[in-house]
Chains A and B, each alone.
Chain A
Amino acid sequence: MSIQILMPALSPTMTEGKLAKWMKAEGDVVAPGDVIAEIETDKATMEVEAVDEGTLGRILIAEGTENVAVNTPIAILLEDGEDAGAIDAGAAPAAATPSEAPAPAAEAAPDRPAAPAVAVMDVDEEKFFADTQTQTVRDALRDAMAEEMRRDEMVYVMGEEVAEYQGAYKVTQGLLQEFGDSRVIDTPITEHGFAGLGVGAAFGALKPVVEFMTFNFAMQAMDHIINSAAKTLYMSGGQMGCPIVFRGPNGAASRVAAQHSQDYTSWYAHCPGLKVVAPWSAADAKGLLKAAIRDPNPVIVLENEVLYGQSFEVPTDPDFTVPIGKAKIVRAGADVTITAFSIMVGKALEAAEALAAEGIEAEVIDLRTIRPLDVATIVESVKKTNRIVSVEEGWPTCGMGSEIAALVMEHAFDDLDAPVKRIAGEDVPMPYAANLEKLALPQVDTIVAAAKSVCYRG
């Protein structure tokens, strides 16, 4: 039975091409792999090879023909023993492939299902605060790792100086002594490599906690964080979960200039497949890191170097965790909402005190989790206060404030009595000079002024 040879698609974007040249003539015998024609695609001139064996019975499209659509029959191949008469006998030649496979429907947009909300665990955090101790953020983070390592032997910690040096910022102090060098691992200075190695270990059923000495260096590891850790579950149809934590200090440090002083929050917040947390208090640092280690997904834990030494009340119960995806109202108020995360929560609370002295009661929301963002808590607050100021340390363009402004417009436009106000770091690389550095970062008085402006005061 004769076989139709069809105009092939030879690039992802080709829909038609020019049949530039026939390399075989009618009557020639062809074997699989023989070049039978040359075709000019949208990208290059390509050779077309025969797939089947036979004799070129008839050329249907003359060489030099332009705009030949993909899948147009271009020739007929006769199999053993057939002669050209078979073509004229009117027998419809079989297509060269099993069936006429309709190309996947791409034209009509399919019905669009609704995107489901991310499930957030409900935890009664308050009950754990019956029994607390005063702890620094640094020690709370250390305890979080130690407790989870005791609970699950698949949890291990790796990073630069985490073991023998006890942590560049002493966050991993004592872990090597308790858990040994098979679970607390000093890496070479090789962020791209050890981030990828951690992802592989997570695919291999371990639960790595990968410390970046600071998130500035995680830029070298970005490909593995996004392409390998965040996307593989989706690309595998749900087979390849990646239970990994990437943690370390993020945001402006002090007097280290532009390469070592930057807030990456909105970078990670942009990417589906990740969860992102940025705690302020020691209790949230502990509870969120524990939740992150238990989470079956890649979680970015953005800590803050300046906060490491600050003390807070922290629950002592090892079962205490903070649900990822829940913001916390750290100060109630009816006049204006201020959202903040990480170190800016402290500044927002100071601003709220100053505002109270002027008779403005601010409600301060510690976002705690950046992705998935607790939109409901923000919207509920705005419905009460009708005003909102977003505070962050990072750059303003496409920052968290931009996102919050858009969300409030989408969900609470009619409740707003003033435009959303964004307070962010200045749109400049971080300067070294002390006076310039201070000018580049949001300060309490800038937050106060913003809150007053949305209240049309001052």
Chain B
Amino acid sequence: MDDLLQEFIAETRETLEALSGEIVLWEAAPADRARLDAIFRFVHTVKGSCGFLDLPRLGRLADAAEDTLAAVRDGRRVPDGALVTAVLAIVDRIGELTAALDAGQPLDDTPDDFLVAALAEDAAPPVSPLMQAADSMPGVPVRAAGRSVRLGVELLDRMMAGMSDMVLARNELARRLRDGEIDPRVEAALDRLSATVAEMRDTVTRTRMQRIEALFSPIPRMVRDVAAPLGKQVSLAIEGGDVELDREMIELLRDPFVHIIRNAVDHGIGAPEARRAAGKCETGRLSITARQSGNQILVEIEDDGAGVDTARLARKAVESGLLTEAEAERMSEEDRVSLIFAPGLSSRDTVTALSGRGVGMDVVRANIEQLGGRVRATNRPGQGLTLTMHVPLTLSIIPTIMVGAGAQRFALPRQAIEEIVSLKNSAVRIDHLGAGRVATVRGERLPLADLGTTLGVGGEPTVLAIVATRDGHYALAVDAVLDTEELVVKPAAPAVMASGLFAGQTLPDSGLPLLLLDPGGVAAAAGLRGVVPAAAEDDTAEEQGLTTLLFDDLDGRRRAVALAVVDRVEKVAASAIGDTGGRLHLSLADAVVPLIAQGPLPAHSVTLLRLTDGASEIAYAIAEAQEIVSLPRAIAPARRAGIAGVALVAGEQVELLDAHALFAGEVPMMDCRPLCYLRSDGSDWMDVFLRPVVEAAGYRCVGSEAEAHGASVTLAMDDDPVALADEATVLLSRQPATGGRGIYRYDRAALLAALATRTGKAA
């Protein structure tokens, strides 16, 4: 009998947990037969078991609820707010009584009659309006009540540790057996053992994982319970319930999470009248999203309430002595918003029954930080508040790809890998670009980092992993891609994590510890521009400035021009451009417009920006249009005419064209001389002897590879091992006409003629 009772208790509890969301969903959509059936099944089961187990009190409650629900099912009653509240009260009472039974405590003897009476059709009308929960999630399937047992996390931990030991012992055994002659029967047994161990490991590992849904399922009910007494209406949208998190993590997140939600409903979302007055829909919106992002789980709780009155918050902080007047003055808006996490400060003057008690936001933050996570507030004054919790993947299982660098191996989160390509692949090219390198993979240019060099472990890269970070892609050169494995990653010691390169440590089947790389951290350590570590993610949310077209100019620089000025981008034949009347002009079908070029024009076709101020038009020759970007507000002043300033786009300096100066004709004649790269052989000969001659002939000369981008012609000695005899290179030989590859270096006429043919310039 005792066993049966225990089973009843466990099952009732499980079902109750699963049910709490269903009831609210049913209330939102009373016609939803599936939910009604689920609740009906529950009370029906309880009633049946109670008769059998001789629990008359529980039985009577369940019986009453069943009657009422049956009437609804038959269409004799309409489920209104009062009815739902009454059914909820009964379900709650069943829960309380079950808990008391479980704990072996005497049942409290408050009479249940009023609960039963509330179910009657003529019971007192509801006191609060209904919340309109979760219209947005009609497709949630009815959960089947599963049978389960509760286990301490510590026990699971021990199981996990034992499992890992077992794997290591198996590996060791396999190694030893391989050393000698192996009996096929022993081998077969070992194989079977291996398979079983692997399967067990999966199962045990999974016992620690739980869908974040476990955290989410009580929310609809909770939101309803908070909103109803305050007369508020809230519609709830939940997304990402299938994200898996460590069980322990979910438990630890529960309190902070509940508090944040209560706060959002209580303080964030206003009463219907206030919302109407603010021009919003009467029903507030609360959306909760979970997603995995790199090595973190992000939970975002967004309301469309009034947001935080940061000015008042700062004032209160000053009043309470937390800040001085001057400090509050100097604070950025962002810092002011984070004052909501300061102890003893509430953005509200009155404390309500619900959110006012218990933990404050300071405790929420402390709790989350204790888990190694962080929480941040993004305020949209008058529009709402978004709280984002970042929780590390601690103990979460993540699929990884093992890569080799030097003599070591590392794991990379699989999710961050877009693609793996061999360096031997013809679609891959590596170029030096200034101090850094870029990889071109099927036409896409990516900054390149070499894992071995970045970590200082050496190695010979043969493979490129295209890594996605929140701030863009980059190519990571590794020696080899070895394997894929699902790993349980744990945080490493602070001294190991401090470099920011790693996301955690793990013990794979090899029995050798393995470090999980943080792709963003690796990019940062490699000094890649345009790829910044994950922590800076939210800076993108800052206010954006001018919308511009980004392009590569003829002189090789990256520039931007206000999009509003650009009429169109087009390609014209080089013959349409003439050096007439002392400057460049572009001939159009019916007119001639001034053309600006900041570098040598290409020989055949020219890409142009046609700029207009509404009345007149000018053309601007470019190398290649890139993309449309919003420039940040912060623009550094420029010293050069024609350039309005310098802005940072994806970590790269970009010159913003001064449209005003362009149309005012203030741009000086640009240097249109062809660029000539003197590839020195290490001696000064080129600089001393050659340069003056070439410059006098109307070329611009540069002597380092870093500046050579966009060069029309390269001059190199014919014994230079790297120089190629291609159409953009003129080779020079040290001896006169001995059948060498190049032109004799003192043959001035031939040299200049060769330069002229290469650049299309009149000799």
A and B bind: no
